[in-house]
Amino acid sequence: MSTLHVVSHSPFTDGRLASCLRVCGAKDAILLCGDGAYALHNPALHSQGVKVFVLAEDSQARNLPVPDWASSVDYSGFVQLSIDYDKVNTWL
């Protein structure tokens, strides 16, 4: 069972991303969107070994370069991710 975790809160304002990383399984992935995209600045995310995706419009709107350990997706890519993973868990 794999889960796509969707995080839209900045990791610099609350602990959602940290909580998410604690429960992330080996087959899981994280999709950063909105202010969650600022987590691209967080090297800890990479060291966890979890796959990281970012919604392209949100990284572009914030002028955040996408590091080589993360992949950029558009909305059709978001839809495809939600199919590729068994569950989608949004950290509301």
Partner 1 sequence: MKFAIALFSAAHAPSSRRALLFAQAALAGGHEIVRLFFYQDGVYSAANSIVAPQDEQDIARQWREFVSQHQLDGVVCIAAALRRGVLNAEEATRYQRSAVNLEAPWALSGLGQLHDAAQAADRLICFGGP
Rounded Cα distance, 66 and 84, in Å: 22
Question: Phi/psi zone of residue 34: left (φ > 0), alpha (ψ -120 to 50 degrees), beta?
Answer: left
Which listed range, 18-26, 44-52, 63-71, 83-91, lies at the site for partner 1 (CB under 8 A)?
83-91
Decide: helix, strand or coil at residue 61: helix
Q: Closer CB to partner 1, residue 42 or residue 89?
A: 89
**Interface of this chain with partner 1, residues 12 to 51, rule: CB under 8 A:** 33-35
> Which residues lie near partner 1 (CB under 8 A)?
8-9, 33-35, 55, 74-76, 78-80, 82-83, 87-88, 90-92
